Amino acid sequence: MLEARFLTKIYGGEGGMPSHRAVNGFHLSIHPGEWVGVMGPSGSGKTSLLRILGTLDLPTSGELWFQGRELTTLSSEERAQFRRRHLGFIFQDFRLLEALTLRENTWLPLVLSREDPAVMQERSDTMAAALGLDKGWHRYPRHASGGEKQRAAAIRAMIHRPDLVLADEPTGNLDSKASRALLSALETLRQQANSAILMVTHDPVAASRCDRVLFIRDGALMTEVRHGGKRQDFLRRLLTVVSAMGGEHLDLEGMGLS
């Protein structure tokens, strides 16, 4: 469905300024319904990669194909239309519009596509009920908890049944309970919409929900770990890679993995 070839992104380098290679010849392919995790230390180029895959930024070189279309050659307007139809976004800081309630925020992709208001309401209410969000549904973001806001953001990302959801550290601002709720919600929504998810995360437990996890360093793919088998085994393998990459001492007992 989505295929990236030799993606490179270089920042700076103009007018004698030092340049920085954030993404370095990256290859990637994502299939429908797949959940892919991206892990790596801070500054490894995860967010830059996500922005390029989401067509928010253009690569310095390389190709990005989606269902047979080269995305880097599209105009700004065409890329906007592409995002509207095929992509959903979840951000670490929620990015909900303060002027709208949680419920109204989830309608945004459908408003942009000029969907029937009855469809918007029905679809968002069904998804909210599935995620247990019906209580704080009519609150404004400033009055909602972090967990509620992130679940609303997840609904917004999925409401138009996109082919691919890009999530940038979605559990970064949540406590463990809210994180678990969000990841379960993502799983539910993924099954309902058959959307692929690409999730950047620092949390190995969150990453263990994925079908495979890509580890990147200095903008390049270092290794890839596939699920295949029990979730605990998968998590153990992820932790091994994290440790090998210089990760901090991990409390395996606390995670119930000892």
Partner 1 sequence: MTWKEWAFHNVRHHWRELTAYLFSCTWAVTLCFLCLQVLFHPDLSSDIHQTFFMTTLFLLVVFTAGFIALSHRRFYSERKEEWELLRALGMGASNFTRILLWENGFLAGISILAGIAGGVLLTPLFDVGVSFVLFLPKTLSTHLSWKAVVWTAGMFGLLFAGATWRVRRRLVRDRPSSKGFFRIQIPEGVGVVVSLVCVGGLGWWMYADTWAEWTLMLHLPFFVLFAVFGGYGLLRYVGAWMMKQSFLLRMPSLWLLLPRLRHDLPQDARLLTLVASMITAAVGMGSVCFLLWGEADRLELQQNPWTVQVVGATGKAPEQEVERVLANEGLSVRQKVSLPMLLAKAEGIDYTLISSNDFNRLLRLRGYAPIPVRSGEGVHVFRYGKGAKEEKKGSVPIKPERWKLHVGAGTWDLDVVQRSNVRVFNRHPRTEWLLVMAESDFQQAWERFEKERRWIYGWKVSPWKKSAGAVKELDNRWQKEGLLADTPVQGRAMIRQTSTSMMFISLFLSILFFLASATLLTFRLRQGVIREPERWRLLGEWGVTGEQCWRIARWEVRLLFMLPWLLTGVYVLLIHRFLDLLVPVETVTTVMFAFVIQTGMWWLIYRYLWGKLVWWMEERLEEEGEMVG
* Site for partner 1, residues 37 to 56, rule: CB under 8 A: 54, 56
Residue 240 CB, shortest distance to partner 1, in Å, is 33
Residue 184 CB, shortest distance to partner 1, in Å, is 23
258 touches partner 1 by CB under 8 A? no
**87 - beta bridge partners?**
164
Q: How far is CA 99 from CA 42, 119, 138, 148, in A?
A: 33, 22, 12, 16
The secondary structure of residue 257, as a DSSP letter, is -
CA 21/CA 39 separation, integer angstroms:
18
CA 39/CA 210 separation, integer angstroms:
11
Of 18-26, 96-104, 128-136, 213-221: span binding partner 1 (CB under 8 A): 96-104
The sign of the torsion formed by the CA atoms of 30, 32, 34, 38 equals: positive
Among 120, 155, 167, 198, binds partner 1 (CB under 8 A): 120
CA 86/CA 212 separation, integer angstroms:
22
Query: 112 vs 220, which CB is nearer to partner 1?
Result: 112
Among 37, 59, 109, 204, binds partner 1 (CB under 8 A): 109
Residue 108 structure tokens: 């945004």
**Quick one: which H or E segment has residue 27?**
strand 19-30
Q: How far is CA 251 from CA 7, 139, 247, 254, 255, in A?
A: 35, 37, 12, 5, 7
Among 47, 60, 65, 85, binds partner 1 (CB under 8 A): 85
65 touches partner 1 by CB under 8 A? no
26 touches partner 1 by CB under 8 A? no
Residue environment code for 106-118, b if the CB has 16+ CB neighbours within 10 A, otherwise e: bbbbbeeeeeeee
Among 11, 47, 65, 82, binds partner 1 (CB under 8 A): 82
Query: 25 vs 172, which CB is nearer to partner 1?
Result: 172
Residue 252 CB, shortest distance to partner 1, in Å, is 30
Of 115, 108, 112, nearest to 81 by C-alpha is 112
Residue 171 CB, shortest distance to partner 1, in Å, is 17
Of 65-73, 99-107, 216-224, 237-245: span binding partner 1 (CB under 8 A): 99-107
* Site for partner 1, residues 132 to 171, rule: CB under 8 A: 142-143, 145-146, 156
209 touches partner 1 by CB under 8 A? no
The secondary structure of residue 117, as a DSSP letter, is H
CA 151/CA 128 separation, integer angstroms:
8
Note the residues at the interface with partner 1 (CB under 8 A).
Answer: 54, 56, 76-77, 80-85, 87, 89, 91, 95, 97-100, 104, 107-109, 111-112, 117, 120, 142-143, 145-146, 156
